[in-house]
């Protein structure tokens, strides 16, 4: 049996184990161990299994992951995001579908502090959706906007997916971070535009909210939310001008979040302890997946599967567009069954050689991948953000209604994706300005 055959069998077995709900890190690690032992020998396989976790966990660059997780958990638990939806509502409710547009703006701002799509959807499902339903908004729109706008947390920096992509692709995480800013803003603007157009064409979707606010009320709403923009600007500006690395930015962001919470008297020992525990748990889960996929990458390299696929694809005249289309189909299918981190890391050993051989800019390519992963967060049957939104809403809105509501946002995301593919400069203009 040839090495390539062993590699393909290993991939198939790994996917089957993941389909049986075996934790993805365990499934891929076990398959890789057996595959490496088959290609080389048992001692070599054991050596890799013992060395990879130690080298990986000891990598200083990945310290950014727990730091940004801590920053997000503290910001959420200490109510730094409190009043965010109200402020967005005060300034945007005059628009057609204004409460839904405000939800997009609030989700985008919290995404920049959290980095977790799931956390953003869970937070605003409890705050914004009941408010929209109270004003007779269509339930599909009221719930679908939260599930979909929550995905902005994957693209707007800081993003855990971008840290992992930059690490595996061996490119600047700082530049990948900054490359996601304009595409993230574009995604939010496209969502808002789609909502406004739909409501103008069908006003019954979102009856107008007749509210007037004084200048004093507007200023008071801004006083409630000022810490979050300050936090985001400090972190992103520091990365952009090179004052600190993404790893240091994570530490600075976590520290600033704690200081701001203390200044607002919304911090307690319990909040800090709970945030640290959640950070440790989240980091351990992510690292288990990454260790499994790093082992898979070594197994794939030994088997020659990436080289085989690249040669096969290039023999048929593989171009950048055809590679993007093939990966899009792959991600839209696998995204229905795998979580974002697992899908990204599972496919990286296969698709990175394809991207390199077709001469793609890996920073731009990373933004395209993250955008595709956003789609996977809301597409059935898994659609993690949809289930998180449903869980937060309880019996207020049915699962079918939420999936119906996200359909319009999926179409909008596909249009945005096409724009990002057609105009790479949207993703690359800020990284090109960096040192």
CB of 188 closer than 8 Å to CB of 152: yes
pLDDT of residue 305: 77
> Quick check: is 394 in a domain?
yes
CA angle 134, 380, 31 (to 5 degrees): 140
> Quick check: is 53 in a domain?
no
Closest residue by Cα to residue 323 from 361, 295, 294? 361
> Quick check: is 11 in a domain?
no
CA distances to 241, 243, 251, 275 from 238, in Å: 6, 5, 12, 24
Q: Is the peptide bond before 118 cis (omega within 30 degrees of 0)?
A: no
pLDDT of residue 317: 58
> Quick check: is 2 in a domain?
no
Residue 93 belongs to what domain range? 64-289+305-433
For the purposes of burial, counting CB atoms within 10 Å of the CB of 101, is it exposed (0-12), middle (13-18) or buried (19 or more)?
buried
pLDDT of residue 318: 63
Place of tokens 């949809």: 386
Cα separation, 186 vs 182, in Å, equals 6
Cα separation, 22 vs 18, in Å, equals 5
Cα separation, 306 vs 303, in Å, equals 8
DSSP 263-298: HTT---HHHHHHHHHHHHHHHHHHHHHHHHHHHHHH
Cα of 101 vs its chain's centroid, Å: 20
Quick one: DSSP state of residue 205? G
Quick one: DSSP state of residue 63? G
> Quick check: is 26 in a domain?
no
Cα separation, 229 vs 381, in Å, equals 35
The model's pTM:
0.81
CA dihedral (197, 144, 164, 345) in degrees, to 10, reads -110
Cα separation, 121 vs 40, in Å, equals 46
Place of tokens 């090109």: 432
Cα separation, 283 vs 303, in Å, equals 30
> Quick check: is 7 in a domain?
no
Write out the two tokens for 340: 């974002």
pLDDT of residue 315: 64
Quick one: DSSP state of residue 391? H
- The number of distinct structural domains making up the chain is 1
CB of 306 closer than 8 Å to CB of 314: no
Rg (CA), the chain: 22
pLDDT of residue 316: 57
CA distances to 155, 229, 244 from 174, in Å: 13, 19, 9
Mean pLDDT by 10 residues, the chain (435 residues): 81 80 81 87 83 74 80 73 70 81 83 70 79 87 88 80 85 88 92 93 85 72 73 80 80 84 81 86 81 80 77 67 82 72 79 84 92 81 77 83 90 93 92 81
Phi-psi region of 156 (alpha: psi -120 to 50; beta: other; left: phi over 0): beta
* Cβ neighbour number for residue 127 with a 10 Å cutoff: 18
pLDDT of residue 336: 65
> Quick check: is 267 in a domain?
yes
> Quick check: is 294 in a domain?
no
CA distances to 151, 165, 166, 414, 419 from 425, in Å: 22, 20, 19, 18, 10
Cα of 408 vs its chain's centroid, Å: 19
Phi-psi region of 265 (alpha: psi -120 to 50; beta: other; left: phi over 0): left
């Amino acid at each position: 049996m040839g090495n390539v055959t062993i590699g393909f069998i290993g991939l198939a077995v790994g996917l089957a184990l993941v389909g049986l709900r075996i934790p993805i890190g365990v499934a891929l690690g076990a398959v890789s161990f057996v595959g490496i032992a088959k290609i080389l020998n048992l001692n070599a396989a054991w050596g890799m299994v013992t060395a990879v976790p130690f080298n990986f966990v000891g990598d200083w660059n990945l310290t950014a992951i727990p730091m940004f997780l801590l920053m997000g958990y503290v910001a959420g638990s200490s109510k730094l995001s409190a009043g965010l939806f109200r402020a967005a509502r005060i300034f945007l409710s005059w628009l057609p579908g204004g409460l839904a547009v405000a939800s997009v703006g609030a989700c985008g701002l919290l995404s920049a502090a959290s980095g977790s799509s799931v956390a953003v959807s869970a937070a605003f499902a409890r705050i914004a959706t009941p408010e929209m339903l109270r004003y007779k908004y269509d339930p599909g729109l009221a719930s679908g906007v939260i599930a979909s706008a929550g995905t902005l947390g994957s693209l707007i920096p800081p993003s855990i997916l971008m840290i992992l992509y930059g690490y595996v692709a061996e490119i600047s995480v700082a530049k990948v971070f900054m490359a996601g800013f304009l595409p993230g803003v574009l995604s939010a603007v496209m969502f808002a535009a789609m909502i406004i157009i739909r409501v103008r064409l069908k006003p019954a979707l979102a009856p107008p909210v007749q509210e007037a606010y004084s200048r004093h009320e507007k200023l008071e709403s801004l006083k409630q939310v000022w810490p979050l923009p300050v936090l985001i600007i400090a972190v992103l500006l520091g990365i952009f001008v090179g004052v600190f690395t993404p790893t240091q930015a994570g530490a600075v962001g976590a520290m600033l979040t704690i200081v701001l919470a203390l200044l607002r008297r919304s911090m307690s020992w319990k909040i800090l302890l709970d945030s640290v525990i959640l950070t440790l748990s989240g980091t351990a889960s992510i690292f288990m997946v990454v260790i499994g996929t790093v082992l898979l990458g070594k197994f794939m390299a030994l088997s020659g599967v990436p080289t085989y696929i690249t040669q096969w694809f290039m023999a048929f005249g593989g171009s950048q567009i055809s590679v993007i289309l093939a990966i899009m189909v792959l991600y839209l299918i696998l995204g229905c069954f795998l979580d974002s981190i697992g899908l990204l890391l599972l496919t990286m050993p296969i698709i990175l050689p394809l991207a390199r051989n077709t001469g793609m800019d890996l920073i731009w390519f990373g933004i395209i991948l993250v955008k595709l992963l956003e789609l996977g967060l809301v597409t059935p049957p898994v659609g993690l953000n949809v289930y998180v939104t449903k869980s937060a809403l309880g019996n207020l809105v049915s699962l079918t209604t939420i999936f119906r509501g996200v359909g319009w946002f999926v179409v909008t995301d596909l249009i945005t994706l096409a724009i990002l593919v057609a105009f790479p400069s949207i993703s690359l203009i800020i990284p090109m300005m960096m040192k």
